[in-house]
């Protein structure tokens, strides 16, 4: 035992220079390894998924995405695919109505490969939960831009016209309509159809499920309507069948104001139009102030008559 106590200090101090060199080499090796394996990178805007029990929905949430810092070797970081990074909190079995403050840790993040998640920002998320409900909500197309001069959108047909919206009951009560993803109509003059347009969620702060998620939208374009004044249209009188009477109309001619597409109006002829007064059922030997009615071919609309009424005198023959 005495011999061991004497030799131990001698062993420790023997070859002191070599030991210092070995210690220095060990430190350099450790530092080199740390330098190689301690590369870091941040993946931003990772969707944060909250798992809830059936029948529950998120009423409000403080964050929809998180940023995750990863650490690993240079090769680990290089092969990290941001699209495959997932962040998830499992509240199943712990669902209660009201506010919840959830701490976020590296264990809430999954990603393929050897890079390790070490930090999540923000490090907590605040949730407010509500009972889940379902509602049928009409969909409106979000049209962006404008057609060329002389054309307009006649109507928009969404198929289906309404979708099922599932989410927190209190929030569903506030939703009257949903909108589609933007549809560009800039410079368009012809009717077109999109078979798969996404229906936009009603809010960024609460989670909703939409069924179906995509709808078909048809945008029906027409040439913008214009009007044309056509003068000297003779006013005819409608009389009872079998009745012989003389009908005097003053003035005998009127002007019709016709609306149609610009190209249609160019081909409209005065002979295509008619104007009349209805004297059926009226007694002879009297004068009347009667409205004038205009008639136009299909595709044209009479929107005005000047003068709008005429004096009519009915005399027996």
Give Cα separations from 122 to 40, 43, 103 (angstroms): 18, 13, 9
Which residue pairs, CB below 8 angstroms and at least 24 apart, start in 172-179? 172/133, 172/134, 172/135, 172/208, 175/135, 175/137, 175/202, 176/137, 176/138, 177/137, 177/138, 177/139, 177/140, 178/137, 178/138, 178/139, 178/140, 178/202, 178/210, 179/139, 179/140, 179/141, 179/142
The mean pLDDT of the chain is 87
pLDDT at 296: 95
pLDDT at 94: 77
pLDDT of 161 higher than 70:
yes
pLDDT digits (tens, 9 = 90+) for 290-302: 999 999 999 899 9
Among candidate residues 245, 259, 258, the one with its CA nearest the CA of residue 288: 245
Question: Nearest 5°: phi and psi at 2?
Answer: -65, -40
17-21, 80-84, 151-155, 284-288: segment of lowest average pLDDT: 17-21
Domains defined along the chain, listed by start: 38-130 (2.170.120.30), 132-223 (2.170.120.40), 225-316 (2.170.120.30)
Provide DSSP, 124-193: EEEEEEEEEEEEEEEEEEEEES-PPTTEEEEEEEEESSEEEEEEEHHHHTT---EEEEEEE-TT--S-EE
Which has more confidence, 315 or 288?
288
Expressed in percent and rounded to 5, the helix, strand and coil fractions of the chain are 20, 55, 30
pLDDT of residue 8: 46
**What number of other Cβ atoms are within 10 A of residue 172's Cβ?**
20
Tens digits of residue pLDDT in 26-67: 555 545 554 555 788 999 999 999 999 888 888 888 888 999
Contact present, 91 and 103 (Cβ < 8 Å): no
pLDDT tens digits, 236-269: 999 888 777 789 999 999 999 999 888 888 899 9
Which pLDDT band, with edges at 50, 70 and 90, does 192 fall under?
Answer: very high
| Residue 262 to residues 101, 299, 300, Cα–Cα distance (Å) | 64, 12, 11
Instruction: Give percent of the chain above pLDDT 90.
Output: 59
pLDDT score of 97: 78
Quote the pLDDT of residue 38: 76
Predicted pLDDT of residue 10: 55
Q: Give mean pLDDT, residues 155-179.
A: 94
3-class DSSP state of 87: strand
């Amino acid at each position: 035992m005495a011999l061991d106590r004497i030799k131990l200090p001698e062993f420790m101090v023997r070859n002191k220079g070599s030991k210092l060199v070995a210690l220095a080499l060990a430190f350099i090796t450790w530092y080199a390894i740390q330098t190689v394996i301690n590369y870091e990178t941040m993946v931003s805007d990772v969707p944060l998924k909250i798992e809830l029990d059936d029948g529950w929905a998120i009423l409000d949430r403080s964050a929809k995405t998180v940023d995750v810092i990863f650490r690993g070797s240079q090769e680990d970081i290089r092969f990290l695919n941001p699209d495959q990074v997932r962040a998830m909190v499992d509240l199943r079995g712990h669902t209660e109505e009201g506010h919840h403050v959830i701490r976020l840790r590296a264990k809430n993040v999954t990603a393929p490969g050897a890079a390790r998640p070490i930090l999540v920002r923000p490090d907590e998320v605040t949730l407010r939960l509500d009972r889940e409900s379902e509602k049928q909500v009409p969909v409106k197309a979000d049209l962006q831009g404008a057609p060329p001069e002389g054309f307009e959108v006649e109507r928009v047909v969404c198929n289906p016209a309404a979708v099922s919206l599932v989410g927190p009951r209190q929030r569903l009560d506030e939703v009257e309509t949903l909108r589609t993803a933007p549809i560009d109509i800039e410079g368009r003059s012809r009717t077109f159809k999109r078979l798969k347009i996404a229906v936009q969620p009603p809010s960024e702060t609460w989670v909703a499920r939409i069924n179906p998620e995509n709808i078909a939208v048809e945008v029906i374009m027409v040439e913008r309507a214009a009007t044309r004044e056509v003068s000297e249209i003779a006013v005819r009188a409608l009389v009872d069948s079998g009745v012989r009477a003389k009908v005097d109309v003053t003035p005998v001619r009127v002007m019709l104001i016709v609306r149609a597409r610009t190209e249609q109006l160019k081909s409209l002829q005065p002979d295509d139009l008619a104007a009349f007064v209805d004297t059926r059922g009226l007694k002879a030997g009297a004068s009347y102030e009667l409205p004038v009615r205009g008639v136009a071919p299909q595709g044209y609309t009479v929107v005005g008559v000047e003068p709008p009424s005429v004096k009519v005198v009915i005399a027996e023959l």
